[in-house]
Amino acid sequence: MSAPAAETWLQVRPEGLYCVPGDFFIDPLRAVPRAVITHAHADHARPGHGAVLASAETLALMRARLGAGAAGARQQPVGLGEALTLGGVRLWLAPAGHVLGSAQVAMEYRGQRVVVSGDYKRAADPTCAGFEPVRCDVFVTEATFALPVFRHPRAGDEIVKLLASLALFPERSHLIGCYALGKSQRVIALLRQAGWQRPIYLHGTLMPLCRLYEALGVPLGELRPVIGATKAELAGAVVLAPPSALADRWSGRLADPVTALASGWMQVRARARARGVELPLVISDHADWDALNATIDETGAAEVWVTHGAEEALVHAATRRGVRARALRLIGYGEEAGEDGGEAP
Amino acid sequence: MKPFAALLERLAFTQARGAKLALLQRYFAATPDPDRGFGLAALTGGLRLATARPAQIRALIAARTDPELFALAYDYVGDLAETVALMWPAADEGAAPPGLAEVIAALERTPREAVPGQLAAWLDRCDASERLALLKLITGGLRVGVSARLAKVALAGLGAGGVAVEAIEEVWHALTPPYGALFAWLEGRGERPDPAGAPSFRPPMLAHPLEADDFARLDLAAYRAEWKWDGVRVQLAAGPGGRALFSRGAEDISAAFPDIVAAMGFAAVLDGELLVVREGMVAPFADLQQRLNRKAAPARLLASHPAAVQLYDMLFDGEEDLRALPFDARRARLEAWFARARPARMGLSPLLPVAGRAALAALRDGAREAGIEGLMLKRADSPYLAGRPKGLWWKWKRAPLTIDAVLLYAQHGHGKRGGLYSDYTFGLWREDGTLVPVGKAYSGFTDAELTFLDRWIRTHTVARFGPVREVEKTLVLEVAFDAAQRSTRHKSGVALRFPRISRIRTDKPANEADRLDTLLGLIGPGKD
Ligand SMILES: [Zn+2]
Ligand SMILES: [Zn+2]
């Protein structure tokens, strides 16, 4: 191979993954002059950067979460698939299927192509564009659920479980913990797909992002703030709240709630029990074990860099299939309280 | 298998009794015969199946998955059946899972050595939740927090009119899975099954824990006192129709205690405490545990761990129901009967003097030897009522003892707490400045403390031996326990009864933890 080793132009630095010729970081962990952001989750989209390049939706979500002042001094929206060149590096974004606006970062330099996945999933999601595999030489993949016990069921089947519980306990509120960005809107959209027409009640912190999703073209049906709802209205109702708020006192107004949590971690019972959940819903916005491995193979990459989770198992499995694999050991992702159930691996 | 698996999954996360009842009732109402009857039997411990050992399950998964990946996954999940259920490669997407009745019928005729092969074929037809149900069923580890009593309460509400749960208890031991006649009766399609004189279980009377202010208010003159024996509460039911020894939860444990059953040549229903007694001395609870949960008792064990019963109460004398009589009258009947019958392996639990609060408290605190947990206080006029009626019977356990110990090793818990480090070995200082392990605790902590301990262990590991992590010797745990007994089986020379974590002492440096000598000083007199 005549191309230089990817490590020579794409390096792990304390701030995060750095593209040397392009002079930018991808999802840096602290404020930097130039950042490319895969998606608006707080562990990927940190405040205070100089220039920020991302999808228009990601930029809108960042402004809503961080405040316009902290979401990058200069914001450069780029459409999915639209290529530009930075310091000799050809760069474009491809859909990642994780949350609205989420993207993979594809880069070409001196005939070599590297794709950084960001967070991604392969399962269908009515609230965002589906993942598109991009052929590449080096694939930098997340590994949040990279253990062979994580084989997530169809999200629709989990919604069927929720509806069965609503039918069995028609007097009880069903309080579902879901991360504010992405998971909440996906759960609402899945409920609507399954025919749940009634108003869905939201903890105060979820409303702004749901409204923004709707403004960005994702309809969610009738949403009401839980504040101000009567006990009678909340009996048998679906109520969404961030996972961190499940045990709070405000939920005292709910009618004998069935506490649910929508997260990929719910696949392991001890994790669900540790959260005190009565109805675990295995709904994940990350690729499961089978999807991670299938995606690595689909990219055709000869080399895989693994970050963000259970690196050891995925490196082992990829190596067994003849793919060169190593762990990047970037520290700081997936640790935001609340993301996908609020638990770092 | 699907409805049963879905039921187990919900029950595994449901704490509230009312919600458990709703789930059980829906299962019984919506699942056809004979599957629901086998489901009922599985929940109430009424199945005797050819089972598979953990080593056989490991061999099955080893043949289908990468051993390194399995090790990583098992370490993360902590529960073998769950790891296998989640990892098992999906085979036939379209295949229907086996029904519960099909599984049970096949297991009854499958020779033990063919069970793993049969199990693998079934696993190929199941999804993850069904695989877990199947594995738990076959390894005998359902444990979903449903007592036989609760299942019967759910059954009592099944039909349009409902029946009394006591009426179900009375016919229960004459029935066998899949309980077709029972469901027919409950749903108004058939006659009440005939118990035909078979010994039947009567719901026992239970006591409330006595708190300090309850004690201050108690009118002691109206109460009788007995030892609270540290064994297992049992009911002995015998008559012309047969003999049975029941646990407090209505489980028939006769097969494990043929020595007791052989001594039941009488016609009566008695309430008592099961113990292991050697030469008149009550053995530590751990010895009784060796006899429990067995399908049969080997002769060697019967000789080395002889069982006995301390009798508390009499529910039936022959056909005569004594339960409405006051405690004193029943006691008199029990004593008179005992003097006549003189059953082997049984004794009358003595009535203790009630000579004022101070004397009673001293009696309780003085009872440190093996076999006694504290006192029972029972109203002299109390009838024998099912359940836990208020204000009639009190259990007054002596205060727990505590030591400050150093955390030495940790292991994953199983089942409920799989995946988290919830099994702790702790130790005390010896003369020579080394730490010696004195016990293991698996309980007592809050969820928040469990999370703290799990994190602490992961970040302070100094060595790993298979599933065991050795940790830095820096964390002090306050451990509560009920009694300390001399033991030759323990390196420290002492065994603790029911040790549990009472507090995490992050405020205390490890060198200030207790010394082994201090613990040895707590061993009660009278037994060595
Ligand atoms: Zn994310
Ligand atoms: Zn992430």
Q: State pLDDT tens for residues A68-123.
A: 899 999 999 999 999 999 999 999 999 999 999 999 999 999 999 999 999 999 99
Å from B12 to nearest chain A CA?
9
Put simply, the answer to whether B419 touches A320 (Cβ < 8 Å) is no
What's the domain range around A126? 6-149+285-337
- Chain B residues with CB inside 8 Å of A280's CB? 13
Alpha carbon of B215: minimum distance to chain A alpha carbons (Å): 34
The confidence score (pLDDT) of residue A3 equals 66
| Confidence label for B78 from pLDDT (cuts 50, 70 and 90) | confident
Place of tokens 């061999």: B59
Q: What is the pLDDT of residue B48?
A: 75
Boundary of a domain, candidates A250, A265, A281:
A281
How confident is the model over A145-159, as pLDDT tens digits? 999 999 999 999 999
Do A277 and A182 sit in the same domain of this protein? yes
Q: What is the ipTM of this complex?
A: 0.93
How many domains does the structure of chain A reveal? Answer: 2
Tens of pLDDT, residue by residue over B303-323, are 999 999 999 999 999 989 999
Quick: pLDDT tens for A10-50.
Answer: 999 999 999 999 999 999 999 999 999 999 999 999 999 99
Q: Do A312 and B72 touch (CB under 8 A)?
A: yes
Q: What is the CATH number of the domain that holds A21?
A: 3.60.15.10
Residues A293 and A201 in one domain: no
Is residue B126 packed enough to be buried (19+ CB in 10 Å), middle (13-18) or exposed (0-12)? buried
**A159 and A14 belong to one structural domain:** no
Q: How far is the CA of A334 from the centre of ligand 2 (A)?
A: 5
pLDDT over threshold 70, residue B63: yes
Nearest to A280 among B13, B68, B419 (CB): B13
CA of A289 to the centre of ligand 2 (A): 16
B contact test, residue of A268, A275, A316 with most B CBs within 10 A: A268
The CA distance from A30 to the nearest CA of chain B, in Å, is 25
Judged against a pLDDT cut of 50, whether residue A344 lies above it is answered with: no
Same domain membership, residue A28 and residue A131: yes
d(CA B403, CA B127): 47
Contact between A269 and B451 using a beta-carbon 8 Å cutoff: no
- Is residue A15 within 8 A of residue A28, CB to CB? The reply is yes
B526 pLDDT higher than 50: no
Confidence band for A286, pLDDT divided at 50, 70 and 90 = very high
CA–CA separation, A69 and B336 (whole Å)? 90
Q: How far is the CA of A28 from the centre of ligand 2 (A)?
A: 12
Judge if pTM exceeds 0.95.
no
Among candidates B19, B69, B77 on the partner chain, residue whose Cβ is nearest the Cβ of A316: B69
Of B13, B73, B419, the CB nearest to A148: B73
Q: Is residue A344 part of a domain?
A: no
Mean pLDDT confidence for A299-320: 93
Identify whether residues A133 and A159 lie together within a single domain. Answer: no
Do residue A106 and residue A55 come from a single domain?
yes
Checking if the pLDDT of B154 tops 90, the result is yes
What's the pLDDT tens digit per position in B265-277? Answer: 999 999 999 999 9
pLDDT confidence bin for A338, thresholds 50/70/90: very low
The region that residue B448 occupies, defined by phi over 0 for left and psi between -120 and 50 for alpha, beta otherwise, is alpha
Alpha-carbon span B503 to B528, nearest angstrom: 30
Residues A170, A44 share a domain:
no
In the predicted structure, residue B199 carries a pLDDT above the cut 90? no
Instruction: Kindly indicate the confidence band of residue A274, based on its pLDDT and cuts at 50, 70 and 90.
Output: confident
Q: Tell me if A219 is assigned to some domain.
A: yes
Say if A1 falls within a structural domain.
no
CA of A108 relative to ligand 1 center, distance in Å: 24
C-alpha closest to that of A281 among B52, B83, B13: B13
Which residues are in the CB-under-5-Å shell of ion ligand 1? A 41, 119
Residue A297 belongs to a domain? yes
Is the pLDDT assigned to residue A270 strictly greater than 80? yes
Q: How do residues A225-254 score in pLDDT, each as one tens digit?
A: 999 899 999 999 999 999 988 877 777 788
pLDDT at B524: 52
- Tell how strand A200-202 and strand A223-225 pair up: parallel
Q: Are residues A259 and A289 in the same domain?
A: no
Split at pLDDT 50, 70, 90, the class of A1 is very low
Quick one: what percent of chain B has pLDDT higher than 70? Answer: 97
What residues of A are in contact with residue B451 (Cβ under 8 Å)? Answer: 274
In a shared domain, residues A95 and A46: yes
A230: which residues sit within 8 A by CB, 6+ positions away? none
A262 in the same domain as A163: yes
B418 interfacial to chain A (CB closer than 8 Å) = yes
The last residue of one of the domains, among A243, A262, A281, is A281
B228 is catalytic: yes
Largest CA distance in chain A: 70
Q: Smallest CA–CA separation between A79 and chain B, in Å?
A: 39
Helix B80-87 vs helix B54-62: crossing angle, to nearest 10: 20
Are residue A201 and residue A325 in the same domain, yes or no? no
- Amino acid occupying residue A299: T
Assigned domain for A18 exists: yes
B370 confidence band (pLDDT: 50, 70, 90): low
Q: What are phi and psi of B292, to 5 degrees?
A: -80, 165
Domains of chain B (ranges, CATH numbers): 2-139 (1.10.3260.10), 208-397 (3.30.470.30), 401-523 (2.40.50.140)
Q: What is the CATH number of the domain that holds A259?
A: 3.40.50
DSSP secondary structure code for residue B427 in this structure: E
Q: Are residues A144 and A178 in the same domain?
A: no
- Using CB atoms within 10 A of its CB, is residue A203 exposed (0-12), middle (13-18) or buried (19+)? buried
